[in-house]
Structure 1
């Protein structure tokens, strides 16, 4: 048995030695190759271009098809070009391309590196847990969807894209856990704590897709906004059609800025990400719970393969301590939740 062990170990060592020799030989050929600095100039230029695109994304004009907002919606995904460029640089045996690749790597880490770590600091003591979900007007299981969101333990729940036919089902499923609720147009708010001053918020649509209510929590009053901004589309002839959403975002931001309650929580489907400059009227005055206390990017749409976080929980006057996505329901969006402290 001892002899077999020694023989096997020796074989492994020999194999490792051969692998190391091959690696050293490969690097040796690279060092002796005078073309490693001349090859791959196009790859190097493309790497630098990707990095500059991420650095100066705010300078991409929106005048033509809202191209800037479209780029910012999917900005984190530009990082997928890095491994592709790395493989191409290795295959091309280009030192220039490899060094240039540092540009998009450093920029991406600077922009999004903080999102890939778990920043939650929730001790489970005090505070307020909130959740929001675009339930989808075509939801085939409204009661099941409502129960799933309620299982998050949230004291306050916002639902968007409610239809008149489905509202009774949501009300029935949530009645026992949430004694206070109100539905305004296609959005609704359910709370374990008393609500007052509830009403629609004008976001310049001509119909009601936003509301506000003051929730009296044990730690004090909180102004809770629920909003579903207009949908956006990508069309070949007109680009990223987001003008109506942008106007609604401006109106929503103005309403929040006027609010006299110092603690504000915004729940809803904003049809845009925190990177999208067109939502500045809102994002400039509020914090994203995912960015401040989340674990990962928290993408919420589409539920089958989440690519963007267009559903948001944003706050001001309170401190986010954790943020997370909830399991998939019968909707095409994932529900999200967050916990905040005062």
Structure 2
């Protein structure tokens, strides 16, 4: 077991215990997809934060004055970095240069049914330059409020169930998507921009809790099949998917679509607004180049909004 030559027995014992803990943490990081059922759901939801467990291991090694313990504690830190650093580097480091006249700004937010600030959210997103806006968790009054403030700037719209799409450009071929739920929480439509048509999906996945995420899993699986069969040249998908990027339920969508990092970098966090911990709200695409992405506070809902700029 780890232990540097000359270390005291206490330090050697600590190094051995730290090695066991670090080994288990490393196995979870690498093999989380093998964890069954609810354990897998919980671990994958919190996976990006498990790297923080390295800190108490390093503190333990420092207190025990164990160089061997400190060394093995760094193993899961390296594994975490290999897994997550590519997803947290700023998009601005790798994004293509903006193309004047061929850009599209797309925004999305779960406006929260009880917040009653859908109009404020829609107004802020429009003022921020979004030409295409997708909103989720719309009530009848929220739908009217959003439509009222967007009537002039975004005269083209399509809503179904609790989701809606507003656009400054014409909308064609709009249709609802049931996605095995029996009710409608998703739509797709073609937005006809001056630089060509973009197929836009707006989605609000079913809720996900421990022991109660089967409907969400089925919906995301069905959505992935719909997207896989979609031969549109350009696709942009936005919405509250009720899943973090490491959740296995999103693997089918990630096989079909690319998801950009945040423009300024860092871990994607969109929920809850007061202390964001989980990145439940996504933007993905195919056939487009993302040049910027940010999360921002608009309205008084419990989700941050997403605003994305892309080249067509």
Paired with 1:281 and 1:123, the residues of 2 have a C-alpha distance of: 29
SS in 1 for 2:297: coil
Is 1:320 aligned with 2:294? no
Partners of 1:115 and 1:294 within 8 A in 2: no
Match of 2:239 among 268, 275, 283: 268
Aligned to 1:309: 279
Aligned to 2:163: 187
Partners of 1:295 and 1:323 within 8 A in 2: no
Deviations 1:84-140 (A, max 9, x none): 211111011122211111211101110111233312236443321111100001013
Match of 1:145 among 92, 98, 121: 121
Partners of 2:257 and 2:285 within 8 A in 1: yes
Q: CA deviation at 1:242?
A: 0.9
Two-structure CA RMSD over aligned residues (Å): 1.8
Paired with 1:141 and 1:321, the residues of 2 have a C-alpha distance of: 29
Partners of 2:118 and 2:299 within 8 A in 1: no
Aligned to 2:16: 41
Match of 1:59 among 30, 34, 45: 34
Q: CA deviation at 1:328?
A: 4.3
Deviations 1:264-308 (A, max 9, x none): 1101111002211122222211111237x6621221011111111
Aligned to 1:16: none
Paired with 2:7 and 2:50, the residues of 1 have a C-alpha distance of: 32
Partners of 1:201 and 1:255 within 8 A in 2: no
Matches within 5 A, 1:1-342: 33-35=7-9, 36-62=11-37, 65=38, 67-120=39-92, 121=95, 123-124=97-98, 125=100, 126-234=102-210, 239=211, 241-290=212-261, 295-342=265-312
**Alpha-carbon spacing, 1:328–1:172, altered in 2? closer, same or farther (3 Å):** closer
Paired with 1:284 and 1:307, the residues of 2 have a C-alpha distance of: 25
Q: CA deviation at 1:332?
A: 0.4
Paired with 1:39 and 1:280, the residues of 2 have a C-alpha distance of: 39
Q: TM-score, normalised by structure 1?
A: 0.84
Q: CA deviation at 1:326?
A: 1.4
Paired with 1:84 and 1:275, the residues of 2 have a C-alpha distance of: 24
Structure 2: runs of 5 or more not aligned: none
Partners of 2:203 and 2:240 within 8 A in 1: yes
Q: Which has the larger radius of gyration?
A: 1
Q: CA deviation at 1:142?
A: 2.5
SS in 2 for 1:288: coil
SS in 1 for 2:180: coil
Q: CA deviation at 1:80?
A: 1.2
Paired with 1:33 and 1:70, the residues of 2 have a C-alpha distance of: 38
Q: CA deviation at 1:157?
A: 0.6
Partners of 2:14 and 2:61 within 8 A in 1: no
Worse-superposed segment, 270-279 or 221-230: 270-279
Between the two proteins, the alignment pairs up a number of residues equal to: 304
Partners of 1:301 and 1:334 within 8 A in 2: yes
SS in 2 for 1:101: helix
Paired with 2:238 and 2:7, the residues of 1 have a C-alpha distance of: 58
